[in-house]
Amino acid sequence: MGSLLKKIGNTPPQGGGNSGGGGERPPASTPKPNPTGANRPNPNNPNAPKGNSNYADLKSRVQQKLLMEFDQTMDTSKKDEIRRHIEELFNSILAEESMVLSRNERQRLFEAIVDDILGFGPIEPLLDDESVSEIMVNGPRMIFAERKGQLSRTNITFDSDEHVLRVIDRIVSPLGRRVDESSPLVDARLPDGSRVNVVIRPIALCGPTITIRKFSKSPLTVNDLIRFGSMTQEIAEFLRACVIGRLNAVVSGGTGSGKTTLLNVLSSFIPNDERIITVENAAELQLQQEHVVPLESRPSNIEGKGEITIQHLVINCLRMRPERIIVGECRGGEALDMLQAMNTGHDGSLTTLHANTPRDSVSRLEVMCLMAGMDLPVRAIREQIASAIDVICQQQRLRDGSRRILFITEVQGMEGEMITMSDIFEFEQTGYEGGKIIGRIRPTGIRPKFYERIEDAGIHLPPSIFGIGSRR
């Protein structure tokens, strides 16, 4: 805590950027504070003085003086005690300097200083706002937030590039990761599991950028997705049957389409008595089962050594007696190892990948398998895919900001050189009213070939789920 306080105090806000990611790093133990009260600055309030130079100067002077007087030996885990101590020093400093501030100005200044010392600076109010699903920092002056699928610019600003870098270091340091000129890109996570991506100069020309995909404090359930219109009760019953029946499933979709959320929901159907191994770049899955072993990849150190890739973890987890393997996202050669695992007794596995259609997801799997460096013919790869993957759930973020399942597709097998597929459910748009897309996901009338495996698991689905014997 002592070193952090000194560094904050010795770095007054200045304009201009820092082409490196360097700067000094705060210690890894810096905690995230509890949400504060209503007097915290409103990120959407146009009257908030965040961008005012006088306010920034005042904040800097008070903060530096406070840090000089702060007891740097205090235990940073005692957040309430630290907050009270900061408040006492803050009030005494204002009295000594004869600074006259209104009650709201005083509270706003205090909260800003506390956020800088204990939290993640100016974006702390956005992190505490449950209506915000994504935060985008495009340099120190442009901060955007997503609410209900819609992006809007906030009135929050950082003092400088260095101010943003201090927050970045506070995010990545506890995870043992680094960001600097030699490694200007990094994936990380917040203590609550929210996903973070960071890019700094010279790659990010606008200044240090932070993209935070927030997760709700309580994971979304299947009932939540039904209520949001992402799926229907019939779809939920079908997907539950697929998971319990140990079918291998792929969740496909674009960026921000809700793949990870759907993967979390699918994983919730896994019985509690099964051993689950999760493999991710940055741990973000929120499994509720008791027997879960999360594995997380690791980048190389400053010497370029010590990297642990997703591919390494997938290979290793086969030695850990998994009953289910969940790969957060397939991006490269690990796809081949994942397919081999699915084909060697680890059925019921789940993963996600980026693709716009179920057919595209199969093509992407082919390409990723080729990235593994194995000299395999395309037909052999396609046979692996057709044998391993049973069902593909296509998720998409629609133009009104809603996230829907568009297709649920069965991978049936090989016919000649091609992988054969059949849509079991598809989304049908019926209109567009009040800026909202009207439609529903409906059955196509085709019963999947893997239905026998579902019945073997003791699950019986009525034919009406597939649109058989009923009006669709």
**145 shares its domain with 14:** yes
pTM: 0.73
Q: What is the pLDDT along the chain (472 residues), one digit of tens a residue?
A: 444 334 434 444 444 444 344 444 444 444 444 444 444 555 554 444 444 456 666 767 777 777 676 655 555 566 777 788 778 878 887 787 777 778 888 888 888 777 777 778 889 889 989 889 999 999 999 999 999 878 899 999 898 898 899 899 888 888 878 888 888 998 888 888 888 999 999 999 999 999 999 877 778 899 999 998 899 999 999 999 999 999 999 999 998 899 999 999 999 999 999 999 999 987 788 888 999 999 998 887 777 788 899 999 999 999 999 999 999 999 999 999 999 999 888 899 999 999 999 999 999 999 999 998 888 899 999 999 999 999 999 999 998 888 999 999 999 999 999 999 999 999 999 898 888 899 999 999 999 999 999 999 999 999 999 988 755 4
Asked if residue 358 and residue 330 are part of one domain, the reply reads yes
Same domain, 82 and 8: yes
* One domain, residues 136 and 208: yes
240 & 321 share domain: yes
- Whether residue 179 is contained in a domain is answered as yes
Residue 471 included in any domain: no
Domain boundary residue among 213, 241, 258? 213
Q: Note whether 199 and 333 are same-domain residues.
A: no
Residue 472 placed within a domain: no
Distances (CA, A) of 279 to 109, 117, 194, 339, 352: 42, 33, 16, 14, 11
> Is 104 inside a domain boundary?
yes
Residue 106 sits in the same domain as residue 32? yes
> Are 357 and 301 within one domain?
yes
In a domain, 283, yes or no: yes
Residue 202 shares a structural domain with residue 236: no
Task: Work out how many domains the chain is built from and give that number.
Answer: 2
Q: Looking at 169, 184, 213, which one is the last position of a domain?
A: 213
433 plus 366 within the same structural domain: yes
Would residue 144 count as lying in a domain?
A: yes
Are 227 and 170 contained in the same domain? no
Residue 45, domain extent: 2-213
Whether residues 204 and 295 fall in one domain: no
The CATH number of the domain holding residue 231 is 3.40.50.300
What is the CATH number for 148? Answer: 3.30.450.90
> Which of 213, 245, 260 is the last residue in one of the domains?
213
